[in-house]
Chain A
């Protein structure tokens, strides 16, 4: 059972704080924050999501730059509490549309109202936005997403986490639109995070796709919907459906999903609850064509000098673009200066040498399918290198987002909504996006 729930800003301020059992010690939020803050400074890396101080167990997840924290004294299931924290964040986001410090502060009465219904005396009651709708009466004060300041410091906070790409929908599930009626629509996002490791000769060592079919429904009247996937989809190697098929290693489904005809024709039927939720998570280790090829080279070019060449080739269709591409490479520890040399006519490229941790960064705003880009960097060292220079640098890592592309070839063939009337034709959005999770080329 849960003693307390609180949300802290990056500075450690309490944004909301709820003591569910009246047993909590004073100052536990500060105790927690200090521990998290100093964990890193004590060179221990990030604080783990669960730790124990003086018999109190602290659980935390980072969402949108905020720390969602729960405490307990009993030996509970860590998965349960961490999952719950994520779910609370999701419920609040469903209500507020946008999750950030500002929206929290503007709506904290509503947030307290939600928290009182989600947990009672430390026991979870419900996290379903659908159910909560009938208990919660405050209306959200929606902040305008367009005027939202860029995440700024918050984005640094989120680095290194495998955060799901934010679906562009920042609409509250309960707030009425200024125009009056709510728009009847449903969003289905196929989100894939890909991990690839290339060895020094460009051969793929490991590759994996972690995918989610995410749904956010604003449909009125809770109609049943059917979602059809590739017919040749196989799950596990035991039910292989012919060559060229998409083979998933494993998958799991949201509670609301009925799998009655899934084995026959790969369709899922469900009555989508309100709010955002994953319909299906899947995992694939079947080889796939990686969207980018990376060639990286570092060579000695005389005493105290070396040259780095990084070549990136986009191996997808030219109708597709990759966004916010960032290539990073750790350089030898004695690197003092770096001179970059971009290819002529390069647009939207940025280069940087992060002195503090000796990392080279190359940002490409947009990469068109089929194109190839090269970066040369001349390094100057402050000291002579002894060992093998290849061992001193790398590996090259890459992050990117590619909208309307998915590496697994898993598809939503159709999305059917049980119609109430002829005139009723809700908007249906099916979108694909691929993100790099760990995309690494070794030297």
Chain B
């Protein structure tokens, strides 16, 4: 009904504009669409975010303003305002609904404020609620009008009906108008003492609202202490739960400035409070139970018997139908037993069934959330789940985000006893209609092959994939066969026989093509027509769009040349010529490098390009164990779903109460150290983005996305063009040679060639007294963590030489320069005139790190430096070093 009313509004609104009879006709014919488009256009002005009165759009014929409707409503409301006639409330209800419906579709009805307030003098609660809704929407943008409502809200706060008291108090606190704060304290104070639990419930959250409008008013009124009292004494559990939420939020925010608040927050984790809440846990609502359980998971029990008491008390929570309660309970169990290996393992066994039940009941969304947690546990302890592999089989109608998790779990739990079944199942998915999943399945087979001892059967399956003649299957299988050969060179005969039959023309995907070319180069002895295949690929050099493929082609032709020189010579010449003319910097560099290397000494060249290789025993894990532990600590949070620790996706201020224990730790440390140091600074949002950018790229689970890696600020290779002018003897180490070639596709190539990046930077001896480690390594995650934890030990401003400024056209020029001074860049960004860099360096003989934030303004030729150091005593020495390095920038 209401919606239809809204349509009438439109029509009448248009009728007012008699100039447009034509449009009126059109409008009538297609009213639903019109109202819809109106709705769309004004979506940003929806109910809860009403437009400021001055900014509303000028009424145009196509956007009926509803003005006449509004004035209609105004006069009708006015008529009813004082009416005590029977049925007046019903007419008011209808009018109020119209007002609110107008508000919903974005029409500004704030001009009715006075009339609405007048009409609110009623005992009809439905009317009151609608009026509160209206007032709540317009008060913030109309503070003057809001003042009008204070009187009647305050009066309602003393109403004899507790519902009205509660509602009025909630509305009063929701006005969010700073200059009305003084009117809140009184009603809140009496609300917290109200004998009705609904009013107290509302009042507790009201205190939190007040805190956000004016923290000092809230603290001065001593409300936190009152909440703490209620937390431990209120008979109503929802009041208790609200006290807990409010106190956590208030004390977390306060603790950044107040020691006392930090201590108060810590007391929430004290035994009396935790036990008090635990003993009443079954009285709480399921949502409040989650809140309490989250708190308990941070509690550190004094001894084992305490641990078992808590676990026994919570045991039946695992049978709860609400997945959130189950996961919160599991978190408590996991955290409590961390130090008891055998019990911890029993916990895994215990939680298996409830988790699986949660995965299969409920909506797909809920089951995904639980499955992500199961995934985390499976990855941590695959052996515990190895007999449950059938639960991880994909169902044909599951969304792909679920299938992906399941494939990873299947890969993880594969062991000697279940591999056959799992691989058979995975092979079924390879023919799946869902191509991304089919690809993942093939990769999963490959991963299982790489982690198993007995790969006989799997190799056969993989080779069968190659014969399936589906493009994507062939592509994925080629990449796998290549990896497999790197680990199990003994399979080369079987694989090569099959790979040799694949026409390179049928392989289009760069990764697959690169893999095929790698095999052609590596096994050119055994593959009869390798030189000719390579030759024809070189002939089509210009049609090859992927730089990755061209790089591989160069290397493969080189390798082939060393093995079968006469047959390959021509192809090599053509490849080098094409490479030297290539527009792609890396391809060009590599070609030039090979060319000079060959010029210098062919046997050295062979030892560089084609050294004897060892089989790769373990492929590098994509995620560091530190990150995995961090995610595990954040069990039952988004970190698990995103597979990233929270610092990678939340701002510090929003990490909220869940970060609790960590921050407590930090705080007590700084208290002990006499508090003379500057408190750990937050990384600014801006820096954060910079760093996040890097870390995400680094964490990216697909190492093949070389395109993006090229721009990654963590420019690791020291492949400045100048390297070629260095004595070639330096390059005789195979590892240096090859890694130098390929900064762009570092990960992909690195992976292919089984080399350990990052490699040698051209180290120049630094002046004493401080020596830096030229090969220092620091991952962005750790950098970020350190940056957050360490205090600033030095903050300085240097001037830059004009030559330096001239050279600083892109951030890369500086970071190459600094790298030559053993100062490495982890992130950089900005455009002229403002550049920003994060550097790190490591003491040569100690693990001690230096972190630097460097902001350069080229127009003022100034740089601002902030240095943080593990070892603060040497930071001055480092600063000198840094300055000297910087001052040499741009000088020949």
Residues of A within 8 A of B (CB): 1, 11, 13-14, 17-19, 21-22, 26-27, 29-30, 43-46, 48-50, 52, 55, 57, 59-63, 73-80, 82-86, 105-106, 108-109, 112-113, 116, 120-121, 123-128, 134-135, 137-138, 141, 160-163, 195, 197, 205-206, 208, 210, 212, 236, 249-255, 278, 280-283, 285, 330, 357, 359, 386-387, 391-392, 395, 397, 437-438, 440, 442
Contact B3 A106 (CB under 8 A): yes
Contact with A along B697-716 (1 / 0, CB 8 A): 00000000000000000000
Contact A250 B356 (CB under 8 A): yes
Q: What is the bound-complex CA distance between A116 and B428, given in angstroms?
A: 50
Contact A80 B320 (CB under 8 A): no
Contact A78 B641 (CB under 8 A): yes
A360 to B: closest C-beta gap in Å:
12
Contact B638 A121 (CB under 8 A): no
Chain B residues lying within 8 Å of A205, measured Cβ to Cβ, are 425
B338 at the interface (CB under 8 A from A): no
Q: What is the bound-complex CA distance between A315 and B372, given in angstroms?
A: 37
Given contacts A19-B48, A74-B654, A120-B202, whether A137 and B129 have CB atoms under 8 Å apart is yes
Chain A residues lying within 8 Å of B294, measured Cβ to Cβ, are 77
Q: What is the bound-complex CA distance between A280 and B319, given in angstroms?
A: 10
B642 at the interface (CB under 8 A from A): yes
B678 at the interface (CB under 8 A from A): no
Contact A137 B126 (CB under 8 A): yes
Stretch at the interface among B21-29, B361-369, B804-812: B361-369
Contact B468 A391 (CB under 8 A): yes
Chain A residues lying within 8 Å of B290, measured Cβ to Cβ, are 77, 80
Q: Which of A75, A109, A206 contacts B393 (CB 8 A)?
A: A206
Contact A255 B286 (CB under 8 A): yes
Chain A residues lying within 8 Å of B208, measured Cβ to Cβ, are 121
B399 at the interface (CB under 8 A from A): yes
Contact A161 B468 (CB under 8 A): no
B310 at the interface (CB under 8 A from A): no
A332 to B: closest C-beta gap in Å:
11
- Contacting residues of chain B (611-664) with chain A, CB-CB under 8 angstroms: 634, 636-642, 646, 649-651, 654-656, 658-659
6 additional A-B residue pairs with CB within 8 Å, beyond A126-B285, A251-B357, A437-B397: A74-B655, A109-B133, A121-B208, A135-B163, A162-B367, A387-B468
Chain A residues lying within 8 Å of B104, measured Cβ to Cβ, are 108
Contact A125 B201 (CB under 8 A): yes
Q: What is the bound-complex CA distance between A55 and B47, given in angstroms?
A: 24
Chain B residues lying within 8 Å of A80, measured Cβ to Cβ, are 287, 290, 324, 328
Q: What is the bound-complex CA distance between A264 and B389, given in angstroms?
A: 33
Chain B residues lying within 8 Å of A236, measured Cβ to Cβ, are 353
Given contacts A75-B658, A162-B364, whether A46 and B399 have CB atoms under 8 Å apart is yes
Q: Looking across the interface, which residue of chain B has its beta carbon closest to that of A277?
A: B321
Contact B654 A17 (CB under 8 A): no
Contact B428 A442 (CB under 8 A): yes
B563 at the interface (CB under 8 A from A): no
Contact B170 A141 (CB under 8 A): no
B436 at the interface (CB under 8 A from A): yes
Chain B residues lying within 8 Å of A281, measured Cβ to Cβ, are 321, 357, 361-362
A426 to B: closest C-beta gap in Å:
24
Contact A255 B320 (CB under 8 A): yes
Q: Looking across the interface, which residue of chain B has its beta carbon closest to that of A127?
A: B287
Q: Looking across the interface, which residue of chain B has its beta carbon closest to that of A26?
A: B44
Number of interface residues of B (CB under 8 A): 106
| 30 cross-chain CB contacts under 8 A | A1-B249, A1-B656, A13-B40, A14-B43, A17-B46, A18-B48, A46-B399, A57-B638, A74-B655, A74-B656, A75-B655, A77-B328, A78-B369, A78-B372, A82-B363, A82-B368, A83-B324, A84-B324, A109-B130, A120-B170, A125-B238, A126-B238, A126-B287, A127-B285, A162-B367, A250-B354, A252-B318, A252-B321, A283-B360, A392-B431
Given contacts A27-B44, A123-B242, whether A76 and B638 have CB atoms under 8 Å apart is yes
Q: Looking across the interface, which residue of chain A has its beta carbon closest to that of B640?
A: A78
Q: What is the bound-complex CA distance between A30 and B45, given in angstroms?
A: 12
Q: What is the bound-complex CA distance between A188 and B475, given in angstroms?
A: 53
Contact A74 B650 (CB under 8 A): yes
Q: Which of B46, B356, B362, B399 contacts A45 (CB 8 A)?
A: B399
Contact A160 B397 (CB under 8 A): yes
Contact A82 B366 (CB under 8 A): yes
Contact A120 B205 (CB under 8 A): yes
Chain B residues lying within 8 Å of A135, measured Cβ to Cβ, are 163, 198
Q: What is the bound-complex CA distance between A330 and B212, given in angstroms?
A: 57
A124 to B: closest C-beta gap in Å:
4
Q: What is the bound-complex CA distance between A291 and B804, given in angstroms?
A: 79
- Contacting residues of chain B (445-487) with chain A, CB-CB under 8 angstroms: 467-470
B15 at the interface (CB under 8 A from A): no
A107 to B: closest C-beta gap in Å:
8
- Contacting residues of chain B (111-126) with chain A, CB-CB under 8 angstroms: 125-126
Q: Which of A75, A120, A282 contacts B638 (CB 8 A)?
A: A75
Q: What is the bound-complex CA distance between A63 and B369, given in angstroms?
A: 17
Chain B residues lying within 8 Å of A330, measured Cβ to Cβ, are 433
Q: What is the bound-complex CA distance between A108 and B39, given in angstroms?
A: 15
B97 at the interface (CB under 8 A from A): yes
Chain A residues lying within 8 Å of B77, measured Cβ to Cβ, are none
B377 at the interface (CB under 8 A from A): no
Q: Looking across the interface, which residue of chain A has its beta carbon closest to that of B176?
A: A22
B341 at the interface (CB under 8 A from A): no
Q: What is the bound-complex CA distance between A253 and B320, given in angstroms?
A: 6
